[in-house]
A and B are shown apart, each in its own frame.
Chain A
């Protein structure tokens, strides 16, 4: 094994690809807990270094989610998977620092993903719906507490043990009450911009820009009975399973169009189509290719046309002839 030969380290919770030379070190880490086994990285990988291991499904429920495997000899640490992973499962480090060279050198765009919380609109009686509802535990609401202590107090009697027990019960009777919401903190490392919080919030205080837009529907005729794997695999809980009615329920408002559910379901049972990806303006062949593979050649053509129009407009405005 010559120096610089890339290696794969497969740990229980992490898959690491490493390329170490004396002056430079690259490492790509896949967090297996965050990864739901959607197909996006395997689709866009320009060197086909990432591949998918099928999920295990037994009696309609998910035993093991689909997994991503990586080929260390093919990976070139371009970081496209890091940018496009909807669940932030990939991390690329160069010499120990988290960067993506292809973004720094403008060879690949970053996605436009925004989340904004208007704290002024927050009203304390929401019961912290956004924090409670977030599937990724990315929201932390900071608030002022008001503690109400219920006044019924039993007098401690009997032995010391009993008295202690009574005291601990006393504590439970204290009820926290939210007096004022100071701030809503969002952990951008964890947030996937699925916009579930937008719909959870009763006061329209949150605005989210989803990076990937699309359409999704379930063909119930093709879905087998008591099939809940699609719901099990969905990290945003856009698909849920109703035990009583034996039916999958789809809520496309907070679907990220990753396609994990389509992978575990029977063919054509889930119809998914990605229509748009919001990204920074960039001119890059690598991006064009990724776009073509991820959405469609038509969408790529559309984007190229817009870019060309923009260019012409720019030339006219600047009265420059190429």
Chain B
């Protein structure tokens, strides 16, 4: 049953052009230059320093590195980060 379920979702995305972040509950990350990162659909903050931001997602973590980080806004499942971004990394569970 679970296998079936997992197969249906990619099929839906492919054939009905549904947005993948909604259907698969994946984070959507919007990066504006090196200045802003806007992450939606995350599952919580794990680490925040002025050089690193680590967020939990459904399948692992997202790590963003850079310098002089400020969280401009924080809402449930949404975060807007400002600073000088150097890299974004996905860390699987």
Report if A and B associate in a common complex. Answer: no
Chain A interface (Cβ within 8 Å of chain B)?
A: none
Chain B interface (Cβ within 8 Å of chain A)?
A: none
